Amino acid sequence: MTSKTRVLLGVTGGIAAYKSPDLVRRLIERGADVQVVMTSSAQRFVSPMTFQAVSGRPTRSDLWDGTAEAAMGHIELARWAQIVLIAPASADFIARLAAGRADDLLCTLCLATEAPIMLAPAMNRVMWANKATQANVGTLAARGIRLLGPASGNQACGEVGAGRMWEPVQLAESVLAAPPNAGLLAGLNVLITAGPTRERLDPVRYLTNRSSGKMGFAVAEAAREAGAHVTVVTGPVQLQTPMGVTRINVESARDMYAAVHRQVGDADIFIAAAAVADFQPVAVAKQKIKKQGGSVKLELEPAPDIIKSVADMAKRPFVVGFAAETNDVEENARIKLKRKRLDMIAANEVGDGIAFDCEDNALTVIWPGGKLEVSRGPKLDVARELIALIAKRLPPRDDSPRRGARKRRTSAGVPRDRVRGRRPRRV
């Protein structure tokens, strides 16, 4: 992170709160500007004056603070923060945050902020292992909230186990560490498709596939970490949108085709990670198709080929495809790369227990004249390797005819290419 990263430190009620003043100092040593917000329970362990002394800012705790800007302190703080860190995060606070409560200043600003939220849990080992706590933690993780810890060791209650808050130095270093691939795609617009499509047969049935959308959303998160402006066009999935990513929901292949072509004119990179239907019904029944004892024949036609339509554009972005194959993975991917005129393709084997409905993946990434194997790992880690490779393979940031980059105006009227550091086109 750059100097003066604005960190909002939330302190909740727990004996580990005694470490939080030192955490403030460690964050400031690493170039952060820290604003502390305490819950009422936290004030029973550490004085607000202690935090004011080490942070140089008045400690905030009151949702009804009339001296706050326009008496809307939670909005003021939510917009100020670039990072929200809760340390310690008690079992009670985790439960209230998972439930979406807004009954104190800290919970309310967590709902109102667009900044990434990180939690450093601290509690008794049995409380941490309790199914309710683990369910709440799972809910928050699914929403994109990052967990830092807990560690294992001796606890204030005299027991030993998981539940200790990370030490201040470890927390400060983790919070202020640059994200993976930071700056590699700075200022670029990345358009990504994700998830399955649904092709309606009648009012209650549809054709679809097993894609969960997790890989596409991981790619979106990795691209955002790399500094890109990211839009994801997704079919029906049950996933939390990564922080800072614009989401467009669609249902069918036709819907996805239309949404992509509304957005692709501004894209520098197009990554087609969605499992788009290859075929769609010729006609959709207006009423439910009844079982009549015999077989039913479905007449299908090719669905729109979204990635080929983008690759065929006269002014096209850098185009990356995905190939989900059950056999001859590399051979089929190379055929698709050439036939659809892609810049790069990421191929993976799919099937029972592989890729679909899984938390991990492995890719064979192929481009004209090259190949790289990305070993199996969590999908976000795999996505980060893919984004790093895309950044490496991108043509120079100029207005080359192949990429068809166009000068787009910023709100200030300055050519966006110049904002990105591109050289203006010669005339």
Query: Taking Cα atoms as reference points, which of 274, 341, 278 lies closest to residue 312?
Result: 341
290 is in which domain, residue-wise?
189-416
pLDDT digits (tens, 9 = 90+) for 195-217: 999 999 999 999 998 889 999 99
53-79 per-position pLDDT tens digit? 999 999 999 887 777 655 566 788 899
Tokens 């790619």 correspond to 219
pLDDT score at 69: 57
Q: Mean pLDDT over residues 140-151, rounded? A: 86
Q: Across-strand partners of 364?
A: 347, 373
Q: What is the CATH number of the domain that holds 290?
A: 3.40.50.10300
Q: Are residues 234 and 314 in the same domain?
A: yes
Taking alpha carbons only, the member of 76, 48, 49 closest to residue 63 is: 76
Which tens digits make up the pLDDT trace of 255-273?
999 999 999 999 999 999 9
Q: Are strands 189-194 and 318-325 parallel, antiparallel or unpaired?
A: unpaired
Q: Is it true that the peptide bond before 150 is cis, omega within 30 degrees of 0?
A: yes
Predicted local confidence at residue 222, as pLDDT: 94
Q: Which of 107, 110, 157, 358 is catalytic?
A: 157
Looking at the domain assignment, is residue 255 inside a domain? yes
Same domain assignment for residues 166 and 212: no
| Strand partners for 367 | 370
Q: How far is the C-alpha of 363 from the C-alpha of 346, rounded, in Å?
A: 6
Tell whether 165 is covered by a domain. Answer: yes
- Cα 30 to Cα 16: distance, rounded to the nearest angstrom: 22
129, 53: one domain: yes
CATH number for 11 = 3.40.50.1950
Together in a domain, 110 and 247:
no
Q: Do residues 116 and 209 both lie within one domain?
A: no
Question: How far apart are the C-alpha atoms of 81 and 5, rounded to whole Å?
Answer: 9
Would you say residue 43 lies in a domain?
Answer: yes
User: Would 94 be classed as within a structural domain?
Assistant: yes
Same structural domain for residues 196 and 74? no
Q: How far apart are CA 324 and CA 303, in angstroms?
A: 17
Residue 402 pLDDT grade (very low, low, confident, very high; cuts 50, 70, 90): very low
The three-state (H, E, C) secondary structure of 168-195, written as one string: HHHHHHHHHCCCCCCCCCCCCEEEEEEC
Active site residue 157: yes
pLDDT of residue 141: 82
Q: How far apart are CA 307 and CA 196, in angstroms?
A: 15
| DSSP letter for each residue of 328-375 | SHHHHHHHHHHHTT-SEEEEEE-BTTBSTT-SEEEEEEEETTEEEEEE
Task: Specify the pLDDT at position 405.
Answer: 42
**DSSP category for residue 196:** B
Q: Are residues 307 and 408 in the same domain?
A: yes
196 and 325 assigned to the same domain: yes
Residues 141, 226, single domain; the answer is no
**Is-above-0.85 flag for pTM?**
no
Q: Return all residues near 334 (Cβ < 8 A) that are at least 6 apart.
A: 345, 366
135 dihedral zone (left: phi>0; alpha: psi -120 to 50; beta): alpha
* Residue finishing a domain among 114, 149, 176: 176
Mean pLDDT of 112-126: 92
Length of the chain: 427
Q: Tell me: the pLDDT tens digits for 357-392? A: 678 899 999 999 999 999 988 899 999 999 999 999
- Residue 223 in any domain: the answer is yes
Whether the Cβ atoms of residue 243 and residue 224 lie closer than 8 Å to each other: yes
CA-closest candidate to residue 214, choices 379, 365, 352: 379
Nearest-5° Cα angle at 89, 86 to 93: 105
Position 284 confidence tier, pLDDT thresholds 50, 70, 90: very high
Q: Which of 155, 176, 197 is the last residue of a domain?
A: 176
Total tally of structural domains belonging to the chain: 2
The 10 Å Cβ neighbour count of residue 203 is 12
CA distance readout (Å), 189 to 288, 307, 405: 42, 17, 11
Q: What tens digit of pLDDT does each residue of 285-325 get? A: 999 988 877 788 889 999 999 999 999 999 999 999 999 88
Task: Write down which residue in 142, 176, 210 finishes a domain.
Answer: 176
Going by pLDDT thresholds of 50, 70 and 90, the confidence category of residue 144 is confident
pLDDT of residue 221: 92
| Average pLDDT in the chain | 87
Tell whether 424 is covered by a domain: no
Question: What is the torsional sign of CA 271, 274, 275, 280?
Answer: negative
Please say whether the beta carbons of 94 and 138 come within 8 A.
no
Q: What is the pLDDT of residue 1?
A: 42
pLDDT tier for residue 354 given thresholds of 50, 70 and 90: low
d(CA 265, CA 239): 26
Beta bridge partners of 240: none
CA contacts within 13 A on the Cβ side of 200: 14
CB 379 within 8 A of CB 360: yes
**Quick check: is 268 in a domain?**
yes
For residue 417, pLDDT over 60 is answered with no
Residue type, 15: I
Please indicate, yes or no, whether residues 390 and 283 belong to a single structural domain of this protein: yes
139 shares its domain with 285: no
pLDDT for res 291 = 84
Output the pLDDT for position 353: 60
Is 217 part of any domain? yes
233 Cβ contact list (under 8 Å, min separation 6) = 191, 192, 193, 194, 248, 250, 256, 259, 260, 263, 274
Same domain, 148 and 196: no
- On the question of pLDDT at 414 being above 70, the answer is no
